[in-house]
């Protein structure tokens, strides 16, 4: 019986290199199953995957951005009072979120994230104001605390350099790439730091939201409705055996509603996992997944855009980003079709769609 499960469809673009990486990982000692979600794409380890093991854990299968995930905050800004151009003009002068002081909390002074605490980071991380596009399940939408005409703030970020330091130490001191016994001293030390990184990543997202809201003059009383990590290790009991779920760019499907964004120019989906969870390793896609390597984006796109048009999406949302290279690397064209990714999850009967959200303003460092 194959250890590999691919959650995809014929219409969904899937790179063979990512599948080959997943097959290679499936041969590691202790690996029971390796699952590729529809946003699967190659990386140092394949992104959009969940690897299930017993007796051994592999920190490098989770990667260096421990706790990276999505947080959804409900702002008090109503759609009727939205003045997009004013928000853009307020954000544009901001060179870095570090310019906005953090709340005075003693624990922040000893944060392992250091000066990176409360910052987004590069790559595909972002902060984005969104409005409701369509509600499919109004009862669940309301129960989760969402309000139809209120603007949402979506934050995507992780533990910054802290997670990388944890992974580097585990590999340097314990050769963790060969697997760690989770009950050993080295395994326990890694797990303790891993869980600390998850907490700091969640705190980091909250502080990014604080800084964005403060900059825009929006009330800081913005409840976090969902906090969904997608780079981390979780455990489940299967009879007397403990199974370890290594998620690298895959969202948990056993903790309630999940946020699945596309790119800055496409919709974000709010979904509820269905009961058919074992098929996908209790996991869902965490986004659209990359289609192009970063190095090729500018050459492919620079003739399609001007300095102004690359900061405007087809949904008429605006982008504030002072890094021109990053603007090209994170262009919507560099990503898979989010609707096709979602349809693959629907085809496998893994989700029900609660609502979709449309971007208004995307901020990247």
Contact 245, 234 (CB under 8 A): yes
d(CA 107, CA 351): 38
Catalytic residue among 41, 230, 286, 322: 286
Q: Answer whether 281's CB lies under 8 Å from 35's CB.
A: yes
For the record, the structure tokens of 287 come out as 């986004």
Token duo for residue 244 = 């370890």
Please confirm, yes or no, whether 286 is among the known catalytic residues: yes
CA atoms within 13 A on the CB side of 216: 29
Active site residues: 286
């Amino acid at each position: 019986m194959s250890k590999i499960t691919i959650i995809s469809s014929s219409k969904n673009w899937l790179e063979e290199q990512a599948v080959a990486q997943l097959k290679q990982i499936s041969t590691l000692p202790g690996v029971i199953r390796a699952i590729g979600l529809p946003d699967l794409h190659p990386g140092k380890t394949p992104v959009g995957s969940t690897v299930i093991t017993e007796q051994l854990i592999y920190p490098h299968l989770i990667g260096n951005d421990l706790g990276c995930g999505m947080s959804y905050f409900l702002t008090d800004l109503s759609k009727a009072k939205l003045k997009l151009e004013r928000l853009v003009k307020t954000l544009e002068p901001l060179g870095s979120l570090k310019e906005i002081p953090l709340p005075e909390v003693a624990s922040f002074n000893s944060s392992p994230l250091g000066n990176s605490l409360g910052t987004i980071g590069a790559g595909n991380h972002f902060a984005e104001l969104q409005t409701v596009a369509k509600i499919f399940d109004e009862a669940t939408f309301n129960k989760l605390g969402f309000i139809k005409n209120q603007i949402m703030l979506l934050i995507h970020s992780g533990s910054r350099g802290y997670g990388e330091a944890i992974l580097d130490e585990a590999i340097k001191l314990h050769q963790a790439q060969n697997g760690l016994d989770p009950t050993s001293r080295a395994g326990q030390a890694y797990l303790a730091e891993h869980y600390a990184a998850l907490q700091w990543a969640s705190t980091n997202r909250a502080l990014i939201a604080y800084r964005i809201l403060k900059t825009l003059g929006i009330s800081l009383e913005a409840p976090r409705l969902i906090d969904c990590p997608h780079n981390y290790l979780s455990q489940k009991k299967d009879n007397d055996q403990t199974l370890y779920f290594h998620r690298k760019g895959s969202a948990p499907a056993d903790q309630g509603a999940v946020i699945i964004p596309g790119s800055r120019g496409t919709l974000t989906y709010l979904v509820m996992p269905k009961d058919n969870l074992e098929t996908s390793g209790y996991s869902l896609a965490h986004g659209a997944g990359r289609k192009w390597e970063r190095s090729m984006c500018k050459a492919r796109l620079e003739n399609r855009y001007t300095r102004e048009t690359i900061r405007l999406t087809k949904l008429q949302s605006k982008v504030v980003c002072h890094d021109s290279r990053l603007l090209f690397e994170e262009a919507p064209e560099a990503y898979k079709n989010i609707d096709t990714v979602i349809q693959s999850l629907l085809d496998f009967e893994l989700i029900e769609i609660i609502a979709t959200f449309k971007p208004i303003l995307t901020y990247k460092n």
